Amino acid sequence: MQHAAGLVNGMRIGNDVDANWGGIQEPARAAALRSFYNRSVWLNDPDCLVVRPPLTLDEARVWASIVAVSGGMTILSDNLPKLPVERLTLLQKALPVAPVNAETRPPVAVGTQNVEREVAPAIATADTLVRLRGPWRFRTGDDPRYAARDFDDDAWETIPVPLNWEQAGHPDYDGHAWYRTRFALPAAAAPTAHLELGKIDDTDETFINGVRIGATNGWSSYRRYGVPATALNWGGENVLAIHVVDTGGPGGFWSVRRDRPAGTWIVEGAPKWWTVVLVNWEDEPQNVTQSLAALGISGSRLAAYDVWADQPLADVQQSLAATIQPHSTLTVALRPATQHPQVIGTTRHIVQGAVDIAEERWDSAASTLRGRSVNLDGRAYAITIAVPRRLRSRTCKADPACTVKRLDVGHVMLQWPAGLTKDLAWSVSFGSARRR
């Protein structure tokens, strides 16, 4: 694609996106690996921002966060009139494209070049890795008996894995097929185990010793299945059987690479106002501790705001630590804490500080924070302000009028109902507070 530099204004930079968990991962990886092109050579097109089911709401938030902070084109392909209201809000929160300056504040994806040890196909426990080295037996067609542990597959052909079956001697074949292989496990049973399988085109239904352990629809999805303890024969032989359905193009067991996308993304929406996206691509909760210095974030103490929950978090210092649920994101705005009130987050956009807060000024003589919000889109709007412990909010002035909500942590939230589309000038005054 580099041969198009100087000739085009925009460029698709990766594979097609699909509206499922596996289908957003390859575009996310491409958006990170080719982020250096964006706004320096052309506008990157990471493919469409899709938020429709079967993506869960958390999964849709992951993709919306990545598209928003990457700063490339934001193209929609969902049927908007049929989207649930909460999904439509995700799109509104990603638009317009945040005007991030690529030269002074480029978006950064962290962790895209991590070298991962490829383990698939394998049975993995906390202490043991049993690689499934084959031989792999294969035949086209379908019969439910093929899943059974004691089925005799000696007459089946042997096939290399990974390799799509067209390249292995079945050109132009679409439809059902089965893979089988046998493997031995050590005698010491583990309390939990996973099958690290790989990528299969298009759909798989996977069995160990006749027990169905999982199924996935999506050619680009990496298969990783939890295996029930009762399904494994510890200290003896086991049989893995995989039923595959291919609906067109190459089919079968084609890759064992995880190709994990970046787990951390950061963009500076305004000077010293960062939005950090932490993603858990795994199927289990992950405890994450991200060094702020490694992200280039300065400040001894930073005010934090949860972008999707629209609420303040505890101030952070050297690192951002959290437990992130499977297939979800913690998207956080960070600003250096100050001795006076300041905006730390709004409900308008994922990239904080870049779209709606056009002006913000602390008037120390009047003990008043003044600001102007722009690019409002008709949704209910709220601004969260961090308030030092010595101060307490008094009155808010705006047209239309705002409601002031005092939060348990001492901060305040200015709120307006739906219907705002014009620029909004606002101010909130503060006075001394009793020690909290």
Across 172-183, average pLDDT: 98
Structure tokens at 334: 């960070």
Supply the DSSP string of 3-29, one letter for each residue: GGTTT-SEEE-SPPP-SSTGGGHHHHH
Residues 6+ apart with CB under 8 A from 86: 57
Question: To the nearest whole percent, how much of the chain has pLDDT over 90?
Answer: 85
Structure tokens at 257: 């690479």
Residues 6+ apart with CB under 8 A from 42: 4, 5, 8, 9, 10, 11
CA distance 59 to 151: 39
Across 167-182, average pLDDT: 97
Q: What's the pLDDT tens digit per position in 375-387?
A: 999 999 999 999 9
Query: How much is the pLDDT for 103?
Result: 54
How many Cβ atoms sit within 10 Å of the Cβ of residue 341?
Answer: 22
> Is there a contact between 396 and 428 (Cβ–Cβ < 8 Å)?
yes
pLDDT at position 401 over 70: yes
Closest CA to 205 of 220, 184, 225, 185: 225
Q: What's the pLDDT tens digit per position in 87-113?
A: 999 999 999 999 865 555 566 666 543
Confidence of residue 171 (pLDDT cuts 50, 70, 90): very high
Instruction: Determine phi and psi for 391, rounding to 5 degrees.
Output: -120, 160
Confidence of residue 436 (pLDDT cuts 50, 70, 90): very low
CA distance 28 to 38: 14
Sign, CA torsion 77/81/85/88:
positive
Across 293-317, average pLDDT: 95
CA distance 344 to 364: 18
How many Cβ atoms sit within 10 Å of the Cβ of residue 359?
Answer: 12
pLDDT at position 117 over 70: no
- Mean pLDDT over all residues of the chain? 93
CA distance 25 to 48: 13
Structure tokens at 258: 């995880």
Look up tokens 């169905």; give the residue: 212
Long-range contacts of 294-297 (CB under 8 A, 24+ apart): 294/110, 295/108, 295/110, 295/264, 295/266, 296/108, 296/266, 297/266, 297/334
Across 120-136, average pLDDT: 93
pLDDT at position 126 over 90: no
Confidence of residue 114 (pLDDT cuts 50, 70, 90): very low
Across 281-303, average pLDDT: 92
CA distance 148 to 296: 55
Q: What's the pLDDT tens digit per position in 226-278?
A: 999 889 999 999 999 999 999 999 999 999 988 889 999 999 999 999 999 99
Q: Which residues pair with 198 in a beta bridge?
A: 223
Question: To the nearest whole percent, how much of the chain has pLDDT over 70?
Answer: 95
Domain annotation for the chain: domains and CATH numbers = 2-98 (no CATH), 122-255 (2.60.120.260)
pLDDT at position 318 over 90: yes
Supply the DSSP string of 96-128, one letter for each residue: S-----TTTS--EEESTT--PPP--SEEE-SS-
